[in-house]
Every structure is written in C-alpha cells, then in structure tokens.
Copies of this chain bind each other. A is one copy, B any other.
Amino acid sequence: MPARDAAPAANKYRAHRERQRRRILDAAERLFDEHGIDRVTMVEVTSASGLRASTMYQYFSSKDDIVWAILGTVLADLAAQTKEAIETARTALDKITAMLEIMADRLTNDQAKVRFLAQFDAMYARDWPAERLLTLEGQINPLGFRYFGTLIREGIADGSLRPDLDPDLTMHAVINAVIGAQRRLASLGNRVELEYGQPVDRLFRETIRVILLGLRATEIRAARVRCAPPSRAERSG
C-alpha cells in the first residue's frame, strides 16, 4: 500500500542522504586539518569521501559550502557547552572563568576543531559578511554581546571584579585575546611546544590565569579601602 510505504521510503532516503553528508564533512574536516583549507581541492574531498565528482555536486556545490557547514556544527557544539557552563556559575568572575575554562578545555580535547576555527578566521574573515561574525561570536557567547557589559558591571557590583574596569571594553578585549591565543596555539600546536618547552595547554591556562588576575578585585579593593588593614576576604581572594 503506497500510503504505508511512502513514509519509510522517504525516511530511508533522508537517512542515506544524511549519512553521505556526514561522510563528506568528515573527510573534508580531516583534509582541511591535515593540509589546510586552501590547499584542499574539491576533487580531493570528493575522492576521500569515496564519491564521484558529479555526485559531490548533489550535496555541496563548492568548498565554501562545505566550510560553512562544518563551521555550523563546530559552533553549535561550542554554544551548547558555553551556555551550560555559564548557567552553573555564581559571581561574574565565576562566569568569566567558566567561559575561559571552556576554551581551555576545547583546546585540550578538540584541538582540531579549534584549528579549523583558526583557519576560518584567517581565510574567510576577509570575505564573509559582518552578520556572520555576529552569529559566530554570538554563539560563543550565546547571551549576546550586550551581555558583556552587563557582566562586568555585575562583577563590579558583586565585588568579584576590579571597580576600575570599563564595562564597554574589558570583556570584548579579554575575549578577543583569549580567542586569539587559543587559536594561535591550536594552529602552531606542537611547534610551540618544541620551542617554548611547554605544552600548549599549560601556556594557555597560564594566559587565562594572568588575565583573570588582571580582572579580579583583590588588590584594588585593598587600595580602595586604602588605609584600613585588609579584611580576611581580601586576604583569601
């Protein structure tokens, strides 16, 4: 009976299509990471996927298509992780710390994906429309850029951040530096390690530590209170 058969058939098609798509994206992701996005041709992706050129075009009509598709999945993962981490944090400093921790974690456990983002930034930044960037970074910080200012103000209010920070500037500056460092380390990878004699994770975590030291309230509050002896809170901060 056609009515009964139609749905399963359609499902089967869709499932097949999805599987093929994944094969292509996986092959592409691997090749991009091994040789660099710019050095990989559609022909290579095609044969690495076990397809013929003309079949490929039924799925992706250009390398850009593939790149954007990969970007989509990478960012979706990232967004989910970030959101979860922020929700469980309490003070603003904790939230910021959680965000940066996520980035350290990704660098350790998903270096290939971070490298992909690094390449993407370097190669596509030029061409892609500004809204894309909003989407991109917006997904790293799913609460939106506006939230950055709020976060700093919140931290100043709750005493976890230095009171002299510029709410409209600081968080942007921090995120940028951290993303820059993370991607650079992912790209240069073990070269950095060879050279600096330090694993990339340690370097990155140290970067985060220094930045958080630069943000946190401890010393400043001491200065503000000025001539009173430091409270216990300050001492332990």
A226 to B230, CA, bound (A): 11
Q: Which residue of B lies closest to A33 (CB)?
A: B126
A134 to B194, CA, bound (A): 10
What residues on B are CB-neighbors of A189 within 8 Å?
125
What residues on B are CB-neighbors of A223 within 8 Å?
219, 222-223, 226, 230
How many identical chains are in the complex? 4
* Min CB–CB distance A170 → chain B (angstroms): 6
A2 on interface, CB distance cutoff 8 Å: no
State whether A215 touches B222 (Cβ < 8 A): no
State whether B130 touches A194 (Cβ < 8 A): yes
What residues on B are CB-neighbors of A218 within 8 Å?
237
Q: A36-B126, A212-B214, A234-B233 are in contact. Are A176 and B162 (CB under 8 A)?
A: no
A162 to B206, CA, bound (A): 14
A-B contact pairs, 29 of them (CB 8 A): A36-B126, A38-B38, A121-B187, A125-B191, A133-B188, A169-B203, A169-B206, A172-B206, A173-B206, A176-B181, A176-B184, A176-B185, A176-B203, A177-B177, A177-B180, A183-B184, A210-B214, A213-B213, A213-B214, A214-B214, A219-B219, A219-B220, A219-B234, A220-B222, A222-B234, A223-B230, A227-B228, A230-B234, A234-B235
Besides A130-B194, A172-B206, A220-B222, 17 new A-B residue pairs in contact (Cβ under 8 A), listed by A number: A145-B195, A168-B197, A173-B203, A176-B192, A176-B203, A176-B204, A177-B181, A180-B181, A183-B184, A210-B215, A213-B215, A218-B237, A219-B219, A219-B237, A222-B223, A223-B223, A230-B231
Closest 5 CB pairs of A and B: A180-B180, A122-B122, A214-B214, A233-B235, A38-B38
